[in-house]
Amino acid sequence: MKILSGTSNLRLSKEISKKLKLKLVNTNIKRFSDGEIFIEINENIRGNSVFVIQSTSNPANDNLMELLLVIDALKRSSAKNITAVIPYFGYARQDRKVAPRTSISAKVVANLITNAGASRVVTVDLHAGQIQGFFDMPVDNLFTTPLFAKYIKRKFNNKKLICVSPDVGGVQRTRGLATRIKADLAIIDKRRPKPGQSKVMNIIGSVKGKTCIIVDDIIDSGGTIVNAVDALKKAGAVEVYVFITHAVLSGDAVKKIKNSKINKLIITDTIDTSQKIKNNNKIEVISISSLMSEAIKRIANSNSVSDLFN
């Protein structure tokens, strides 16, 4: 087994390889002056199972192309099999047609990864579970719910908790966390006038006098979460903590979070946000390196991955 890292999240790749007690594959990845990407594998990987770690985060297209070229280089170097480990799967929000004559971009990306030569995909908290069906190969979709539940039990043991879904689509994820920490469930009914904007309509469930735990897979511009927190506070919530897997944090999202009524935003390191959130004490990072390294080890040893979440 060998671990190879792309350039999108080298920090996470190093943590994973350290836990697996393996060195990262010696790889030369560079960009020409016109933006073209050059990949060179500097060691023999013939007959090896190779795990390529690369989030397709911003710049999404560059990081996706880099992943495809690395997979192709490994295929041409006679790797036995290639697993694309994609902590953050970009384009996942475009998983269906929301209007006439639009692309189902998540399916296009799945086709690209398949045709490049990957034999398996490992990812974390896909925005839509049905994206697994876009691939004609095994897909392991890892969940951060156990990590969040462990954190909550350790930090909020004596608080009156309620888990809040930021929209109807996230109810299943929120219920999963609520079950683990034995908390009640509330749902925010919102309307989205246009992409990146949302308006809270109603809160289904009583949050008065309680500590609210909002859980979601992605925070992008931050507007939706800030509006949700304001609505919960108006409804009588004592504190609001937000747990997010993928911290896209585009535009002035970090500034919005800092100036909001959020008590704390807890994110994972599927996307490298170290520079963005520097000196922001409202944001805390939980590493998923242990979860991913254990999943990689189980796949390499042909053991069950789903047992990780039982």
- What average pLDDT does the structure give for the chain? 93
Mean pLDDT computed over 43-69: 97
> Would you call 210 exposed, middle or buried from its count of C-beta atoms within 10 A (0-12, 13-18, 19+)?
buried
Catalytic (active site) residue 190: yes
- Sheet bearing 199-204, strands edge to edge: 199-204, 184-191, 161-165, 211-219, 239-247, 264-268, 283-286
Beta strand 283-286 with 264-268: parallel, antiparallel or unpaired? parallel
Categorize the per-residue pLDDT at 198 as very low, low, confident or very high, splitting at 50, 70 and 90. low
The answer, yes or no, to whether residue 186 has pLDDT greater than 80, is yes
Torsion angle (degrees, nearest 10) of CA 146, 148, 152, 154 = 70
Instruction: Name the catalytic one among 14, 21, 190, 261.
Output: 190
Mean pLDDT computed over 268-294: 94
Mean pLDDT computed over 59-72: 97
pLDDT reported for residue 279: 84
Categorize the per-residue pLDDT at 159 as very low, low, confident or very high, splitting at 50, 70 and 90. confident
Domains of the chain with bracketed CATH? 2-143+290-309 (3.40.50.2020), 145-287 (3.40.50.2020)
The whole-angstrom separation of Cα 287 and Cα 270 is 8
Categorize the per-residue pLDDT at 199 as very low, low, confident or very high, splitting at 50, 70 and 90. low
Contact 10, 26 (CB under 8 A): no
Mind listing the pLDDT tens digit for each residue in 85-113? Answer: 999 999 999 999 988 999 999 999 999 99
Distant-in-sequence, close-in-space partners of 103: CB < 8 Å, separation ≥ 6: 94
Task: Please state the three-class secondary structure of the chain as a single string.
Answer: CEEEECCCCHHHHHHHHHHCCCCECCEEEEECCCCCEEEEECCCCCCCEEEEECCCCCCHHHHHHHHHHHHHHHHHCCCCEEEEEECCCCCCCCCCCCCCCCCCHHHHHHHHHHHHCCCEEEEECCCCHHHHHHCCCCEEEECCHHHHHHHHHHHCCCCCEEEEECCHHHHHHHHHHHHHHCCEEEEEEEECCCCCCCEEEEEECCCCCCEEEEEEEEECCCHHHHHHHHHHHHCCCCEEEEEEEEECCCCCHHHHHHHCCCCEEEEECCCCCCCCCCCCCCEEEECCHHHHHHHHHHHHCCCCCHHHHC
pLDDT reported for residue 200: 62
Nearest to 53 by CA among 286, 289, 254: 289
pLDDT reported for residue 168: 83
User: At which residue do the structure tokens 């997979």 appear?
Assistant: 71
**Helices 145-155 and 171-181, interaxial angle, to 10°?**
40
